[in-house]
Structures are given as structure tokens and as C-alpha cells.
Amino acid sequence: MTRVLNTLSRRRFLQSSLVAGAGAGLATGMFGHSAFAATSTQGGTLRGQLFADISNLDPAYWTSASDSLVMACLFVPAFQFDPHSDAFTPKPLAFKSYEIVDDTHVAFELNQGIMYSGEFGEMTAKDVKFSFERIGDPANDSPYQGDWAQLDHVEVTGKYTGTIVLKAPFAPLFTSTLPTPSGMILPEAAFKAVGGKFTTEPPVTSGPYRIKEWTPRTRLVLEKNPDFTLYEPAFDILDLTPIEDNKTAELGFEAGDLDYAQSAISSIPRYEKNPPKDGHFVFSTGLNYNWMGINQDNETLKDQRVRRALQHAISSEVVVEAAYLGAAKSCAGVIAPGLIGHREENLYGYDPDKARALLAEAGVNGLNLTMSIQQTAEDLAAAQVIQALLADVGVTLEINQYESGTFWSLGIEADGDSWKDVQLFLLSFTMQPDPSWATAWFTSEQVGVWNWQRFSSEEYDKLNADAQVELDSDKRDQMYVKMQDLMEESGDFVFLNFEPVGSLVRNGFDEVLRPDGIPQFEHFKKV
Amino acid sequence: MLTYMLKRIALSVVVVVIVIAALFVMIHAVPGDPVRIALGPRASEALIAAYRERMGLDQSLLVQMLKFYVAILHGDLGQDVISSNPVLTVILAQLPDTLRLIGGAMIVAVVPGILLGVFSAIHRGSVMDRLTSILSVSVMAVPSFVIAIYLLLFFSIQLGWFPAIGAGRTAPEIVWRLILPSLALGLAWIGYTARILRASMLEVMEENHVSTARAFGLPERRIMFNYVLRIAILPTITVLGLGIGQMLSGAVFAEIVFGRPGIGKLVFDAIIARNYPVVTGTVLVTTVFFVFVNLVADLLIAWLDPRVRNDLAK
């Protein structure tokens, strides 16, 4: 879901552009200062925020969303998410055409004339085979091996044609494998030239942009690749600045140093009411899902009636309203709107009387609990509201804040015994646009790893495995909804919300954002 | 003097060794797994174990520490867990920006600080002296990150005079983008420098050699700058030497608020990500830098103060 807010009329925009343009010329002449030059869109440069510096651009080993954003500019994946669609609609990019032969065979034909930089020639089906099999090969230890876990091999049938042969049907193939870095195609020769791996200096590029200049943690400048023919990128230069803190990026935008930035969550209500000067604000609902987890193996919380009482005691609407100041809505699951498996209704809503009755039935009186959270304003506000709501049913809650590194080890068995003491906690996970990414962390196998609730259900595990190979969308949808029912029925989860994403875009630039607010810089346009 | 220098250098080496040992113990005492962070949540347990082994993180703390010391002797500070680049390269890429920032902050602190200190001492009890005193204490009480935010909001957002983020590429751009962060970091030190210098000057002005100079009829300006300031500046040099350490930690805020690169922000991010090699490497480099600056400050004092020189000669 995305909505755009802009209070600037066309006339005001033209007036301000003229004034700003004159001012920019004067100021740039005087100071060479880009804050003044920022209001000019001349020169075909887009200055954007990168959420972190690049750290690994290898499709098999990338580490962050920033890596993936930049890789989309440098390399060509088999598919991309349609930049003109409001939904996650996969659309062939390197592939000219494809045919689903049967559940385990996908025949494809590459576009001709996709040229690699340097001496690496044209993209061929052999490169497809190399790239996909490289990630799927367990010997290569790729963290993204799961994206190609069902890949048997890629059969090359011609210079530009081949068939992806799977061991079993694999539903996420078109939603979170082929349109993501796992679907990017690079030549084997380039890897051989650098000893098999690279990090931030790719030996080859083929996408709409190529790296012009990279100053670590300072700046990444991409320039248009003249050999790229699949579509016409609008900007000659993408000038990307790594800024982890969205509040800083927001100030950079307001000062005119950036044409695109993400706003801090706390600023979303303000920008929704008053869009930034010389810019517009775009609201999106992210894929990140937030929830309150309850550790069912903790001695105090072993009785399901106690956990159910906590579910009834908490109004997720009130919690989310307080934490996000109206910028987000409460949710009923872990799969975002617009994706297969999105769930609309919770099973156990806010009912403090029922909560009190369940606690009495369980023989619990004067319950004292702890909640572990990270040091963010949103988590603290949410925890304080939960504290007040629980106090209303006679539960005393102590809030423990941790810095992120410490927090993320609390429930992991391999990191010590702290998981035993964890009771309630606020968590947020990110995902790719396929429901399998959301549910994978709550299987029995994940207990003590990322499943801190220690929720364990054979039915859930089976559904999770079956849904991966179910190609019928309706059936798949029902399976994922059922899995979220099981999660809630366990008493281990209180679903809160999907993370709101606010984007600030300078007037004169036409942003292209995925439905979850992630920018597709390679598709940004000038108005 | 040479023996003194050698002793101070040896002491500096000991300080560095102890700091690294303490750091190793501290960062390993904090929970959090750098391998899981580096590989992401989708990594299998087998992959995590292999990676841990490759990074040497499966070995005991003592072994890791000894290996680190040996590696330092070979100029190797390890490998960045996330980017796989050599830590030394990562740090050296960030160091110039932080040094520029601290240099800028020093100029902000020292030039007006000394002028105000001298003025207040000479015009002791005047309205200006009292005003300087009140302003100094007021600014000293405000944390540098608060100053940073207000400078940013006023001069960048409101007035649009300065850019809000980045460090710049060309020399004019670099200087231009250095002004607000340097002010944020150095402003509180103006008052500090001024107060210390004022107190020190007032003390020196009461000494016999100053009275003697006056008795000989030397001009007051010459007495102040050649006889008073030369001695009175010594405590300020010591304090500024120590202040480098505070500025290094203050640089973290300035670099985050102003979206600047630098080792302050580098180490902050590395701690959050449990990127141990970068944390230890950065702390090693900053410790060496801090120890070096203080060594220079001590030698400068020995050079400026004949009494210290004479003591060392004995």
C-alpha cells in the first residue's frame, strides 16, 4: 500500500523552482555548495540515501538491503518486480520469455545483446546455469542456498535458451528467487578472474549502471551503462550516500542534500500532515512484521491459559497507535497485505475480563513478568502501553531494554542460557515478498534459533513444508492463513503491525518504490 | 631528554597492550554472535560453524588475543567480518575524516579559547570577564550532540547556509562541510580552555619573575606573551592532549548527526554488529593516536618549560 502526499501546487512548484534555480546558480557560484545546487535537477543526477554502505555485491553472499539495491543497478536478474505495478508483480528482465513446462521444469529464453563489461562478452544460457547452480551448490556455503534448494540443474539447450530443472515444485521461485539477487546472472569467467569470489569491487557488471566511484562509508557514485539496452535509465549519475540513521537522512533531505531519503518512523505523522518543502512524502507499508512473543518454555508461562490471558489483555490497536503515533495499523499475522497468506482477523482479541478470568482459572495471582526490548522509541512506547494494559488485569511488567547486539542473542540457545529467562519480548523480522520467508522462523527446527517463543507444532511444520511446493495460489493462501491461526492458538504470539515506511522525494523526481517502500533507483525518473 | 622520551614511548606501548587486553575481555563479555550477524538469519548451523572456524572465533579468548598481538607486529589487524576487507584498509579510509574533524574542533576550541582566556585574565573582574565566565560554563554544560542538532536545524535547515550531511570531496567542500561538525565538537572546549588558561595566567602573573620583568620596565604585552602565557599555557596543553580522547568519543555523535564518515561512526557500527576485528583494530588505532598526542603534549611541555627541562636533565 502506498500513498503520496504533496501540498505544492504546480504554480507554486514552478515559482519555487525559478527562485531556487536562480538562488542555486548564485550560491553554487559563490560556494560550490551542493545544498544550494540541490534544488536543481540538471545534470541528470539523483542523490539518494543508501541505508548502509555496500559490503558485499556477490549475489551468493550479499548481506544487506543496500547491497541488494545497488546490485539491482549493476546486474541483470532473470526477473524484476514490475516498476509500474502497485503489487509485487514479477516480470521477466534478462529472460525474454519463459514457459512453465511442468511443476519442475521452467524453459526460458534470454534477451539477446545483454553485454557484460570488460572482456566478458554477451550473456548466455551458460551464465544462467553457472549463476543459479553456484548459489544452490551446498559446497559454496551461500546463505541464499535455500533460494535454490530445489534446483536440480539448469539444462542449456542453446546459446540463449535453457531449462531450469527442479527436484520438486518450488512456489517461491517466481516471487522471491528469480526477481531477487538469487536470480542475477553473471559469467563464470569473471569469477575465475578474481579467484571465485568478490565483495565490493565486482569484476563485471551488466545492469543499467556501473560503479564510477566508491569511497567506503562516504559515497557511492554509479554512472549510466551505455551498453545496457533492456530499458532506458533516466539519470546519468546515481549519487548514493550511506546513512544508517533515517533522522539524519531526513535532515539531509530538508537541507537539500538529498533527492530521496527515508524518514524516521516518528516523523511519518508529521510529514503526512505537512509534506516537506520542495518535496513530497510517500507512505508505504513495509514487509517487516512486529509482534510480541511469549516464551512458552519459561516456567511462569508454561500454562497456556496464562499465555492466552496475556493475548486477551493486550489491545494491539492501542499499542500500535501509541508506538507509531497513528502511522501504522495493527495486524493479524506475519504476512503483509498484498501477499499470499495475508490474514485479516485475529482469533483472540482484546478482552480484559476474559484475561482476568483465565488468570484466575489458572490460579495465578500477582503475576510478575519481564519484557525484553531493543533501544528504540517505538519499542519502548509499545512496551509501556503493554505494561499499562497488563497492569489492568493484575500483571506487573518490568521492561528491560538491550542494545541490538545483546538483544539478538537473548533467545539463541547457542549463545547461552538467557533464553530460559526470556518471558515476553518485542521482535521485528524482515522478509522477501513470499510468505515462506515469514513463516520459516517458527518451525520446530528453529526453536532456540530464531523461534524464541519455542512454539512447536507438527501440523505447522508440515504445512510450512507443503506450502513451499504448493503451486496453487488459493490453496497456498489457505495454508499460510492456517499456519498463522496455529501460531496464535498456541498463545505464544500477539501480532502487532507491519512497519510503516515513509519516503521523502524531491519534487521533479518520480520515485519508483516497491510496494514495501524499498526504492528501485534504477527506475527513478525525472518529471 | 632522550631517556625521558624512551621511557615515555615504552610506557605508551604498555598502555596500548593493556588497552587491547581489556578490550578483548570486554567485547567478548558482551553477548551477541558476530558470525550470525555476518551470515544473516538464513545461514545453516554448518555454515555458521565453518565461518566461525575460519575467523578463528572458535578458539579461546587468550589464543585469539595472542594471535592478535602477533598479527599487529606484522601490521595485520585482521579482516572485516562483514565486508571481508582488511581492517587496516577500512580504518585508514575513515581516519582522515575523523582527524580533520578533530583538527577543526581543536581550532574552534583553541583559538577563541586562548583569546578569551588571555582577555579574561588581563581584564580580571570586568563585565566581559564575567560574561565569558557565564557563557563558558553554560556551553560546557551542553552535550555536544545537542549542540550538533541545534546547529544543524538552524544553520542547515532553517538558514540553508551549510550542508547537513557528508564530508565533501574537493578541498573547499571539505572545509565547508567541516564547519558545523567542528563547531559542535569544539564549542564546549572554548569555555574550558578559556577558564583553565585564565586561572593559570592569574597564578603566573603573581610570580616573582613577572614582577621582576615589570620592575625592569618591560612592556606589558611582552610580559604577558613572553613570560606569562608561555608558562600559563602548559596546563592547557595537557588538558587539550587529554581532550583529544573526549573529542574522539564526541566524534561518534558528530559523525552520526552530520552523516559523516569517520572512525567514530565506524567503531559504533562495528560494536552494534559485533564486528570484533573492526572494533579491536579501531580501538588500537585510536589508542595509539591518543597516546601519541599525549606524548607530544608532554614533550612540548618539557620543551616550553625550562624547569621541566632542568628536572629531566638532573
Question: What's the rounded mean pLDDT across residues B180-199?
Answer: 90
Kindly determine whether residue B269 and residue A241, on different chains, have CB atoms separated by under 8 Å.
no
A425 has which bridge partners?
A293, A372
Pairwise CA distance, residues B117 & B111, whole Å: 10
H or E, element range at A405: helix A404-407
Counting beta carbons within 10 angstroms of the beta carbon of residue B68, is it exposed (0 to 12), middle (13 to 18) or buried (19 or more)? buried
Kindly determine whether residue B93 and residue A217, on different chains, have CB atoms separated by under 8 Å.
yes
Q: Which of B45, B41, B33 is nearest to B81 (CA)?
A: B33
Q: What number of residues does chain A have?
A: 527
DSSP code at position A276: P
CB atoms within 10 A of CB A383: 24
The per-residue pLDDT for A7 is: 39
DSSP code at position B227: I
C-alpha cell at A194: 578474481
Share of chain A above pLDDT 70, in %: 92
Model confidence at B306, in pLDDT bands (50, 70, 90)?
confident
Model confidence at A74, in pLDDT bands (50, 70, 90)?
very high
Pairwise CA distance, residues A384 & A319, whole Å: 9
Model confidence at A95, in pLDDT bands (50, 70, 90)?
very high
Q: Which of A493, A514, A495, A488 is nearest to A503 (CA)?
A: A514
Q: What is the 3-state secondary structure (H, E, C) of A487-502?
A: HHHCCCEEEEEEEEEE
The per-residue pLDDT for A2 is: 57
Strands A424-429 and A367-374: parallel
Nearest neighbour of B166 by CB, restricted to A200, A257, A410: A257
Search chain B and give the residue with CA nearest A138.
B47
Given a contact cutoff of 8 angstroms between Cβ atoms, the answer to whether A288 and A274 are in contact is: no
Model confidence at A477: pLDDT above 90: yes
Interface test with A, best of B83, B177, B255 (most A CBs within 10 A): B83
Search chain B and give the residue with CA nearest A277.
B157
The per-residue pLDDT for A400 is: 96
Pairwise CA distance, residues A411 & A427, whole Å: 11
C-alpha cell at B160: 540553508
Better-scored residue on pLDDT, A342 or B5: A342
Question: What's the rounded mean pLDDT across residues B187-210?
Answer: 89
Q: DSSP letter string over A36-100?
A: HHTT--TTSEEEEEESS------TTT--SHHHHHHHHHHS-BSEEE-TT-SS--EEESSEEEEEE
Between A3-12, A228-237, B251-260, the lowest mean confidence (pLDDT) is in A3-12
User: What distance lies between CA A484 and its chain's CA centroid?
Assistant: 20
A495 has which bridge partners?
A291
H or E, element range at B149: helix B144-151
Model confidence at B33: pLDDT above 90: no
Is A396 in the B-facing interface, judged by CB distances under 8 Å? no
CB atoms within 10 A of CB A337: 16
Pairwise CA distance, residues B53 & A31, whole Å: 53
Between A8-17, A107-116, B226-235, the lowest mean confidence (pLDDT) is in A8-17
H or E, element range at A212: strand A209-215
C-alpha cell at A167: 527436484
CB atoms within 10 A of CB A196: 11
Share of chain B above pLDDT 90, in %: 15
Pairwise CA distance, residues A505 & A2, whole Å: 14
Model confidence at A11, in pLDDT bands (50, 70, 90)?
very low
Search chain A and give the residue with CA nearest B174.
A33
Greatest pairwise CA separation for chain B in angstroms: 84
3-state secondary structure of A330: strand
Model confidence at A34, in pLDDT bands (50, 70, 90)?
very low
Given a contact cutoff of 8 angstroms between Cβ atoms, the answer to whether B77 and B279 are in contact is: no
User: How far apart are the CA of B56 and the nearest CA of chain A, in angstroms?
Assistant: 17
Model confidence at A42, in pLDDT bands (50, 70, 90)?
very low
Between A226-235, A311-320, A364-373, B67-76, the lowest mean confidence (pLDDT) is in B67-76
Residue A287 Cα distances to A1, A512, B37, B167, angstroms: 11, 17, 20, 33
Residue A95 Cα distances to A169, A231, A357, B156, B271, angstroms: 20, 14, 60, 47, 42
Model confidence at A521, in pLDDT bands (50, 70, 90)?
very high
Cα angle A421-A424-A427, degrees, rounded to a multiple of 5: 115
A508: alpha, beta or left? (left if phi > 0; alpha if psi -120 to 50): left
Kindly determine whether residue A251 and residue B164, on different chains, have CB atoms separated by under 8 Å.
yes
Q: Which of A500, A466, A464, A476 is nearest to A342 (CA)?
A: A476
Pairwise CA distance, residues A268 & A454, whole Å: 34
Q: Which of A39, A45, A21, A28 is nearest to A219 (CA)?
A: A45
Sequence letter at residue A173: L
The per-residue pLDDT for B77 is: 86
Q: Rounded mean pLDDT of chain A?
A: 90
A374 has which bridge partners?
A402
Is A249 in the B-facing interface, judged by CB distances under 8 Å? yes
Model confidence at A293: pLDDT above 70: yes
The per-residue pLDDT for B32 is: 67
B269 has which bridge partners?
none
C-alpha cell at B119: 582577555
Search chain A and give the residue with CA nearest B168.
A218
C-alpha cell at B264: 567514530
Given a contact cutoff of 8 angstroms between Cβ atoms, the answer to whether B266 and B278 are in contact is: yes
Backbone angles phi, psi at A50, to 5 degrees: -105, 135
A151 has which bridge partners?
A166
Pairwise CA distance, residues A262 & B80, whole Å: 27
For the stretch A425-462, pLDDT in tens is: 999 998 999 999 999 999 999 999 899 999 999 999 99
The per-residue pLDDT for A35 is: 36
Given a contact cutoff of 8 angstroms between Cβ atoms, the answer to whether A412 and B33 are in contact is: yes
Q: Which regions of A263-333 does DSSP assign to beta strands (E)?
A: 279-294
Q: Rounded mean pLDDT of chain B?
A: 85
Q: Which residues on B lie below 8 Å from A405 (Cβ)?
A: 30-32, 37, 271-274
Kindly determine whether residue B41 and residue A217, on different chains, have CB atoms separated by under 8 Å.
no
Q: Which of B144, B141, B85, B101 is nearest to B264 (CA)?
A: B101
Share of chain B above pLDDT 70, in %: 94
Question: What's the rounded mean pLDDT across residues B72-100?
Answer: 86
The per-residue pLDDT for A25 is: 36
Interface test with A, best of B39, B42, B51, B275 (most A CBs within 10 A): B42
C-alpha cell at A65: 538491503
**Chain A to chain B, count of Cβ pairs less than 8 Å apart?**
135
Given a contact cutoff of 8 angstroms between Cβ atoms, the answer to whether A386 and A291 are in contact is: no
Model confidence at A108: pLDDT above 80: yes
C-alpha cell at A482: 492456517
For the stretch B40-63, pLDDT in tens is: 666 677 777 877 776 677 888 888
Nearest neighbour of B272 by CB, restricted to A141, A403, A441: A403
3-state secondary structure of B185: helix
H or E, element range at B28: helix B2-29
Counting beta carbons within 10 angstroms of the beta carbon of residue B24, is it exposed (0 to 12), middle (13 to 18) or buried (19 or more)? buried
Please report, in angstroms and rounded to a whole number, the separation of the first and last CA atoms in chain B.
10
Is A219 in the B-facing interface, judged by CB distances under 8 Å? yes
Search chain B and give the residue with CA nearest A37.
B163
Search chain A and give the residue with CA nearest B92.
A216
Model confidence at A27: pLDDT above 70: no
C-alpha cell at B86: 582488511
The per-residue pLDDT for A39 is: 41
The per-residue pLDDT for A4 is: 59
Residue whose entry in the numeric block shows the C-alpha cell 532553517:
B158
Pairwise CA distance, residues A143 & A64, whole Å: 12
For the stretch A128-153, pLDDT in tens is: 999 999 999 988 888 899 899 899 99
DSSP code at position A519: B
Residues contacting residue A5 through CB under 8 Å, at least 6 positions apart: A271, A272, A275, A280, A281, A282, A283
Kindly determine whether residue A257 and residue B165, on different chains, have CB atoms separated by under 8 Å.
yes
The per-residue pLDDT for A49 is: 96
Is A403 in the B-facing interface, judged by CB distances under 8 Å? yes
3-state secondary structure of B23: helix
Q: Is the dihedral of CA B95, B96, B99, B104 positive or negative?
A: negative
Is B215 in the A-facing interface, judged by CB distances under 8 Å? no
Is A36 in the B-facing interface, judged by CB distances under 8 Å? yes
Task: Give the ipTM of the model, two decimals please.
Answer: 0.73
Q: Which residues on B lie below 8 Å from A252 (Cβ)?
A: 164-166, 259
Is B278 in the A-facing interface, judged by CB distances under 8 Å? no
Model confidence at A268, in pLDDT bands (50, 70, 90)?
very high
The per-residue pLDDT for A10 is: 33
